[in-house]
Amino acid sequence: MTLSDRVKQLSPSPTLAITATANALKQQGHNVVALGAGEPDFNTPEHILTAAKEAMDKGFTKYTASGGIKELKDAVIAKFANENGLTYTAKEVMVTVGGKEGLYNLFQVILNEGDEVIIPAPYWVSYIEQVKLAGGKPIVVDGKEENNLKITAEQLEAAITDKTKAIIINSPSNPTGMIYSKQELLELGNIAVKHDLLIVSDEIYEHLIYDNKSHVSIATLDEAFFKRTIIITGVSKTYAMTGWRIGYAAGPQEIIQAMTDLQSHSTSNPTSVSQYAAIAALTGPQEPVIQMKAAFKERRDYVINRIRNIKGFRCITPPGAFYAFIHVKDALGSKYSSVDEWSTALLKEELVAVVPGSAFGADEYIRISYATSMDNLKEAFNRIEHFVNTSSLVSK
Q: Among positive and negative, which fits the CA dihedral 346, 348, 353, 356? A: positive
Which of 299, 339, 343, 288 lies closest to 321, judged by CA? Answer: 299
Categorize the per-residue pLDDT at 131 as very low, low, confident or very high, splitting at 50, 70 and 90: very high
Which stretch of 16-25, 169-178, 281-290 has the lowest confidence by average pLDDT? 16-25
Q: pLDDT value at position 223?
A: 98
Distance linking the first and last C-alpha atoms of the chain: 53
Which of 95, 64, 63, 65 lies closest to 77, judged by CA? Answer: 95
Is the pLDDT reported for residue 62 higher than 60?
A: yes
Domains of the chain: which residue ranges? 5-43+287-389, 62-283
Q: What is the mean pLDDT of residues 346-369?
A: 96
Which stretch of 29-43, 78-92, 173-187, 281-295 has the lowest confidence by average pLDDT? 29-43
Q: pLDDT value at position 224?
A: 98
Task: State how far the Cα of 23 lies from the Cα of 36, in Å rounded to an integer.
Answer: 11
Which stretch of 21-30, 109-118, 317-326 has the lowest confidence by average pLDDT? 21-30
Categorize the per-residue pLDDT at 392 as very low, low, confident or very high, splitting at 50, 70 and 90: low
Rg of the chain (C-alpha set): 21
Task: State how far the Cα of 59 lies from the Cα of 205, in Å rounded to an integer.
Answer: 32
Categorize the per-residue pLDDT at 153 as very low, low, confident or very high, splitting at 50, 70 and 90: very high
Q: CATH for 62-283?
A: 3.40.640.10
Categorize the per-residue pLDDT at 132 as very low, low, confident or very high, splitting at 50, 70 and 90: very high
Q: What is the mean pLDDT of residues 27-36?
A: 93
Q: Among positive and negative, which fits the CA dihedral 145, 147, 150, 153? A: negative
- Check whether domain 5-43+287-389 has CATH 3.90.1150.10, yes or no: yes
Please give the biggest Cα pair distance in the chain: 66
- Whole-number mean pLDDT of the chain? 95
Long-range contacts of 303-311 (CB under 8 A, 24+ apart): 303/368, 303/370, 303/377, 303/381, 306/377, 306/381, 306/385, 309/385, 310/381, 310/384, 310/385, 310/388, 311/388, 311/389, 311/394
Categorize the per-residue pLDDT at 24 as very low, low, confident or very high, splitting at 50, 70 and 90: confident
The pLDDT tens digits for 135-147 are 999 999 999 999 9
Which of 199, 190, 259, 253 lies closest to 228, judged by CA? Answer: 199
Is the pLDDT reported for residue 393 higher than 70?
A: no
Q: pLDDT value at position 387?
A: 96
Q: What is the mean pLDDT of residues 211-216?
A: 96
Which stretch of 17-31, 88-102, 214-228 has the lowest confidence by average pLDDT? 17-31
- For residues 210 and 174, is the Cβ–Cβ distance under 8 A? no
Which stretch of 98-107, 300-309, 325-334 has the lowest confidence by average pLDDT? 325-334
Categorize the per-residue pLDDT at 279 as very low, low, confident or very high, splitting at 50, 70 and 90: very high
Q: What is the DSSP string of 69-82?
A: -HHHHHHHHHHIII
Q: Among positive and negative, which fits the CA dihedral 187, 190, 196, 202? A: positive
Tell me the CA distances in angstroms from 10 to 74, 231, 390, one per residue in order. 37, 25, 38
Q: What is the DSSP string of 185-240?
A: HHHHHHHHHHTT-EEEEE-TTTT-B-TT-----GGGS-HHHHHHEEEEEESTTTTT
Task: State how far the Cα of 338 lies from the Cα of 25, in Å rounded to an integer.
Answer: 23
Q: Using a pLDDT cut of 70, give the percent of the chain over it.
A: 98
Is the pLDDT reported for residue 394 higher than 50?
A: no
